[in-house]
Structure 1
Amino acid sequence: MKRWTSAVVLACALATAASVATPAAAAPTFSELPLLPGFSVAGAADINSSVVAVGEVSDNNGARAVRWAADGAITALPGLPAAKRTHASAINENGTAIGTSDEKAVRWGADGTVTALGSEGAMASYAHGINDHDVVVGVHLKPGWISSGVKWDADGKVQVLEPYDTRADNTPTAINNSGVIAGHSGRQPIWWDANGKVRALPTPQSYGRGETSGINERGDISGTIYFRDDERAVTWIRDLPGEHGHEKVYRMEYLPLPPNATHSRTTRISDVGTVGWVQFGSATTHAVTWDADGQVTELGVPAGRADSAANGISANGWIVGSARTEDPDKEIPAPAIRWAPTRPKR
C-alpha cells in the first residue's frame, strides 16, 4: 500500500533517466466529484480499488473530511466530540480511512465510525499511512516541536518507531502490507523494515533534502528530491542484493518529465504506477502519472481551472486529486477530480 546506515551506504546507483519523455498512454478521462452543500473547494487524497475515495471539502472557515462512494455520492466523516476541523489522508482496501480531527490522529471504519488513535501524551498526532491490516503510521508531536514516528496496530495501540536522527523530526509517510515503512528524518529519506530497523535511502550528491510519499506492495518507494533551485520526482527501487546476501536494498531513479516541464513531485505510489504533478514555468502545475515502467502521462487540467495535482492512485489504476481555480475567495466551485485508469496506446 498505502511509505533504510549500516556499513552499507545503500548502493546509490542513480539512474539519471532522460529529462524528457513521451507520454505512453491514451488521453485520460476524468469526472468531478460532488461537493457538500455550502462548500466550494475539495481535494481528494486517496482512493482504493473499489473506487471509494477520501479527502476534504473546504471554505474560508476550514476543512471537513469526506468520503466519496464509487458512484460519486459524498458523505461527511465525523470528527471527535467538539472538533472544528477534520482531514482524511488515506484509505485502504477494506474501506478504513485515516486522518485528523483537529490535532488528533483518527481512524474511520468503513461505516464511518470515528476512533481516536492513541496519543501517549503528545501535544498533537497525525496519521499519514495505512495498510490493509488496518495498521497506521504517523507522528506524535512532542514538547520542543519534534515529531516522533509512531505506528498504531489494528486495535489502536501505539508503538514509537526507532528514530534515524534523534535531533530531527522522524516522519513515517506510508506502510505496506509486509510492514515496511517509508519516511524521512530531517533532510534524509529513510525506511523501516518489518522488524522496525531504520535505515537511510540513497540520495544524490549536493541535494538539499529528500522526502518520501508512498510505498507499494513490492516495496518500491516514491518521493521527491529537492535541490537549491529544483525539485525532482524519484522512486527508490527495491531490487539490489544487500550486504548479507538475503536482504534487499534500494537504488534511486529519477522519474522523467514531459516536454517543457521544469519541476516534478510525487504524492503516492501503487503497484501499477506513481502519481504527482509537474510544473511548467514559474507556477502552473499539471497532474501526472508514471506507469510501472516510468513512462509519464499528463492527466490534464479541467476547463476553467488554473492547475491540477494527482494525490492518490489505487492498486487498479484509479487516480484522484484536485484542480484549483484562480479564485482566492473560494467563491468559484472547484470540486475534487477522479481519473479513470489510463490504457496504453495501441
Structure 2
Amino acid sequence: MTVRDTERTVGVKNESTVQEFVLEAFPAAQHLGGLLFLVHLLAYLASIVGNTVIILITWADHRLQTPMYVLLSTFSFCECCFITTVIPKLLSIFLSGRQTIPFPACLTQAFFFLFIGGGIFFLMAVMSLDRYLAICKPLHYASIMNLRVSFLLVFLCYFLSFIFFTGLMLKVSQLSFCGPNIISHFFCDLGSLIHLSCSDTRSVEIHFYFLTSLVILLPLIITTIAYSNIVITILRLPSAKERQKAFSTCSSHLIVLSLMYGSCVFIYLKPKQVDRLDSNKEAALVNTVVTPVLNPVIYTLRNKQVHQALRDTLSRVRLQK
C-alpha cells in the first residue's frame, strides 16, 4: 500500500479536520497585488457593464425581443453570474492578501462555478443552433423558434447542468479532508479540491471526468456541426459583400468559442490534472477574465441593430429629462 493510500484509509476513519482552505492564487506575483487588483477590477467592471447594457437594451427595445436576442441577453446574465462566482474573491486576495476560504464557502463556489459554467456551454450550443436555423433554414425559422421555445431551451440548459453537478457535489461533500489544505488555484477548483481529500476518490474522479467531458464535448460537437453548415451556406451566397459580412460576424463568434472550448478542453479533458495545476490557472483566467470581457463586444455590441436600439433608448432618456 502506498503512502497516499494509507493517508486516504486513515482519512476515511476520521472526520474531516479541515475547516478552511488556502487559495494559493499566484504566489510568484504576490508583490504585484495592487496592480493585479486594478487590472482584474477593471476587467470585471467592463464585463459587468457590457453585459448589463445588453440585457437592458434587449428588454427595453421591443425590436430586440426575439429568440436570438433573448438568448443573447440570457447569455450575458449568465456571464455576469459566472464571473461573480470567482472574481470578487480573487480581488479580495489581491487587495488584502487574505487567501483563506471556509470549507462550506469553498464547496459552494465550486458548485456554482460548475453549474453556471455548464449551463453556459449548453446555452452556447443552443445559440449556435439558433444561428444555424436563421441562416440555413430561414423559411422554417419562425415556425421552429419563438420566445416560448427559447425560454424552454434556457430552462433545459440549466436544469441539465443542475442535475449533473448536484449529484457530483454531494459526493464531494462526503469526502474526508484531513490536510493539507492548500489549493493551488485562485478559486475552489473541484479537481484541485478532490486531490486534497484523504478518502478514496477514484469513483469521484471518474464521475467528475465523465461529467466535464459530457458538458464540454456535447455542446462542442453541436456547435461545430452548426457552424460548419453555416460556413457552407455562406460560401453559397451570390454576393461577395454578403459573404464578407457574414464571415466577419462568424469569425468573431468563433474566436470566443475557440478561447472558451480550448481552455476548458485543456483544463478538464486530460487525465492527471494535478501535474499541470499551474498551467490550469492561466487557462482558467481565459474563461473567467478574458472571454467575459470579449463576449459583449463580439456577440452584440458590434451589431448594428443593437447600436440603433441603444441610440434610440438614450434619445428617449434624454427627452424624458
Q: TM-score, normalised on structure 1? A: 0.25
| Structure number with bigger Rg | 2
Q: Of Structure 1 and Structure 2, which has the larger fraction of its residues in strand?
A: 1
Q: TM-score, normalised on structure 2? A: 0.27
